[in-house]
Amino acid sequence: MENFKKVSASRITLSQLMLPSHSNFSGKIHGGYILSLMDQIAFACASKYSGKYCVTASVDTVDFLNPIEVGELVTLKSSVNYVGRTSMVVGIRVTSQNIQTGKIKHCNSSYFTMVAKDGNGKSSPVPGLILSNLEEVRRFYDALRRISSKKEHQAIERTFDFSSDEALKNLQLFNVKLKI
């Protein structure tokens, strides 16, 4: 029998109080600090699931939806949403809570592609994924859609002639000036 694990075997939650040392010049929590926490939880989630050391291969769309204030409690929740042969897509949701009012806001959602490594640094197979409910099925198919879209985009980029007359003419639609 092949090795399979439930999505629940990957779940990790991390909460941290935001301190003044985490803030940027405008007094909000620095986006780079949040990205660092996201990378840490993606590593923990993928490593917990695969039982192996994992590295970040890519990060899909990081949209900062709401600013995080000093003094808020930030919570990151992660789970493996998709597995390939050696890779996993880890979904991460970031929320912040004002401790005094109790108000919770969604600050970010992102998807990290993590690759499992063996002791020699070579990509290593990961367990298959058991989907236990329709929400897990939806997340799996969303990951498939993102992967497919990324592959289509890469194929277009490989064949697109940015120096063609049409491409150069289309630059007029943007806020650029062509001086070649």
Total-model pTM: 0.90
Task: Say if 25 falls within a structural domain.
Answer: yes
Is residue 156 included in any domain, yes or no?
Answer: no
User: Which residue would you say has higher pLDDT here, 156 or 83?
Assistant: 83
Full domain range(s) for residue 84: 4-130
Q: Is-contact 20 27, C-beta < 8 A?
A: no
Residue 95 included in any domain: yes
In this structure, the strands spanning 4-6 and 128-130 are parallel
* pLDDT > 80? residue 83: yes
pLDDT digits (tens, 9 = 90+) for 41-72: 999 999 999 999 999 999 998 999 999 999 99
Q: Which two tokens stand for residue 176?
A: 């650029």
d(CA 137, CA 98): 32
